[in-house]
């Protein structure tokens, strides 16, 4: 949540950014992308005014200071810019919105002419004040010199015994200053997260924004309510995405890509005219143009599938290159492999790339044909045009254009009698 707020603030071109933190501070710092942020520790939790006061050392008198909240992930840079611009006609600007049910939020108190007088918190409000639907979001902007002066005057005169940042509004008015409101039209944009229910609500709202962007870009979503974008998706023309697909990190989809239902794609590129069939998992890999992947394929990190290749059902790849037009159609594992063009890998083939301590590479040349149920014991090199007979275990390099196989001699045991079930014990038990 905090990273979303940080990203929006960075779009304003701020010269400095400070984050006030408390509980779990080291974990928070580790989770945030470093952008020359000043980290300020609030040892004692004494309210929002006290929190801002901890950052006084980084606030210069001539600065425009914008204060944002780290649990409001949907805040937009455009809204923050509007808040800052309101300072042109005021000494302090506050971001507000209107809610049908404002329970729990501080109310904006105005006089008869509509001028802002103060903000009163829910727990300190009168019954009449609780009827006010314009609420304080917590976001304010002010000049550094004014803000520091007000912070010194704030008193913990409330039921919580805390230093409320919102008291700055009343202090500004008492000095004869004008307080302006920047009104946010969408309450969801400024909603904070205090529990898992609110978190889930904002996640759905965030997903709706992402989905709308995709559809406006021309992507067909078979059900916009059943897709999760946990990062960014860039899509070309005529892309189609079926239900229950999840996109994580940075995903790039080329023109005319089809994603069937239940796929998970993370930090990967999918080339034009490729189809990713149902329930496939692609992680940190590159899929070329006009490929056919799945269903139930697992493409693990550092896989490169070149154009017109096929990765079939229940195939797993890892740290491998699949050549142009090559096929790994079903029930196979290809790991630590460099595969040439127009290779055919039979069902049940695996590359045995790990000896329990170290991993080794398999090299497969162009136009190699590997029969079903074959084990390739790395390190091994299958030369161009090699044909591997089904059921083989290959431990040595193969010569170009030759048939290579390994298998035990088939024998028939004459007179062998097939075992039958012993029913005498069962009959004895039933009769006893």
Query: What global pTM score does this model have?
Result: 0.84
Nearest to 7 by CA among 89, 73, 102, 94: 73
Nearest to 184 by CA among 99, 64, 67, 88: 99
- Residues 379 and 397: their CA atoms lie apart, in Å, by 9
Nearest to 163 by CA among 42, 250, 58: 42
Q: What is the pLDDT of residue 423?
A: 76
DSSP labels, 233-252 = EEE-TT-EE-TTEEEEEEEE
pLDDT tens for residues 157-204?
888 889 999 899 999 999 999 999 999 999 999 999 989 999 999 999
Task: Please check whether residue 207 is in contact with residue 197, taking contact to mean a CB–CB distance below 8 angstroms.
Answer: no
Q: Does residue 427 have a pLDDT over 70?
A: no
pLDDT > 90: percent of the chain? 86
Domains, the chain, in order of start with CATH, read: 2-190 (3.90.550.10), 218-404 (2.160.10.10)
Q: Please tell me whether the peptide bond between 4 and the residue prior to it is cis, using omega within 30 degrees of 0.
A: no
pLDDT tens for residues 296-322?
999 999 999 999 999 999 999 999 999
Q: What is the pLDDT of residue 26?
A: 85
- Residues 22 and 6: their CA atoms lie apart, in Å, by 17
Active site residue 330: yes
Nearest to 117 by CA among 151, 48, 154, 168: 168
- Please state the rounded mean pLDDT for residues 289-295: 98
Which one of 53-62, 190-199, 259-268 scores highest in mean pLDDT?
A: 259-268
C-alpha distances out from residue 300 to 156, 175, 264, 325, Å: 56, 64, 11, 20
Q: What is the pLDDT of residue 158?
A: 82
Q: What is the pLDDT of residue 157?
A: 85
Q: Please tell me whether the peptide bond between 351 and the residue prior to it is cis, using omega within 30 degrees of 0.
A: no
Pairing of strands 107-110, 17-21: unpaired
Task: Please check whether residue 344 is in contact with residue 322, taking contact to mean a CB–CB distance below 8 angstroms.
Answer: no
Spot the catalytic one: 4, 38, 50, 330.
330
Q: What is the mean pLDDT of the chain?
A: 94
Task: Please check whether residue 265 is in contact with residue 246, taking contact to mean a CB–CB distance below 8 angstroms.
Answer: yes
């Amino acid at each position: 949540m905090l990273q979303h707020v940080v990203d929006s603030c960075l779009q304003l071109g701020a010269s400095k950014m400070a984050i006030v933190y408390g509980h779990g501070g080291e974990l928070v710092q580790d989770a945030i992308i470093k952008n020359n942020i000043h980290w300020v520790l609030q040892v004692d939790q004494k309210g929002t005014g006290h929190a801002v006061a901890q950052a006084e050392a980084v606030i210069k008198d001539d600065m425009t200071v914008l204060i944002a909240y780290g649990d409001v992930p949907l805040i937009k840079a455009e809204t923050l810019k509007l808040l800052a611009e309101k300072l042109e006609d005021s000494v302090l600007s506050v971001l507000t919105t209107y809610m049908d049910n404002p329970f729990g939020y501080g109310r904006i108190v105005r006089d008869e002419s509509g001028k802002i007088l103060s903000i009163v918190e829910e727990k300190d409000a009168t019954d009449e004040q609780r009827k006010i639907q314009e609420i304080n979001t917590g976001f304010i902007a002010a000049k550094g010199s004014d803000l520091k002066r007000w912070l010194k005057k704030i008193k913990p005169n409330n039921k919580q015994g805390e230093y409320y940042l919102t008291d700055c509004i009343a202090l500004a008015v008492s000095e004869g200053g004008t307080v302006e409101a920047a009104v946010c039209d969408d309450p969801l944009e400024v909603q904070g997260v205090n529990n898992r229910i609110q978190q889930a609500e904002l996640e759905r709202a965030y997903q709706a924004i992402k989905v709308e962007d995709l559809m406006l870009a021309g992507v067909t979503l078979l059900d916009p309510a059943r897709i999760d974008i946990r990062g960014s998706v860039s899509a070309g023309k005529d892309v189609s995405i079926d239900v229950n697909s999840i996109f994580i990190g940075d995903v790039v989809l080329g023109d005319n890509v089809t994603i069937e239902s239940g796929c998970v794609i993370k930090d990967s590129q999918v080339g034009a005219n490729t189809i990713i069939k149902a329930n496939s998992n692609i992680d940190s890999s590159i899929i070329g143009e006009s490929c056919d992947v799945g269903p139930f394929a697992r493409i693990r990190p550092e896989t490169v599938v070149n154009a017109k290749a096929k990765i079939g059902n229940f195939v797993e790849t890892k740290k491998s290159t699949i050549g142009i037009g090559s096929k790994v159609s079903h029930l196979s594992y290809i790991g630590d492999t460099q595969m040439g063009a127009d290779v055919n890998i039979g069902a049940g083939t695996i590359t045995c790339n790990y000896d329990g301590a170290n991993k080794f590479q398999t090299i497969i040349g162009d136009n190699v044909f590997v029969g079903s149920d074959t084990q390739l014991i790395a390190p091994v090199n299958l030369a161009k045009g090699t044909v591997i007979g089904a059921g083989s275990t290959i431990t040595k390099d193969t010569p170009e254009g030759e048939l290579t196989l390994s298998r035990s001699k088939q024998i028939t045991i004459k007179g062998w009698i097939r075992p039958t079930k012993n029913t005498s014990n069962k009959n004895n038990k039933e009769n006893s």
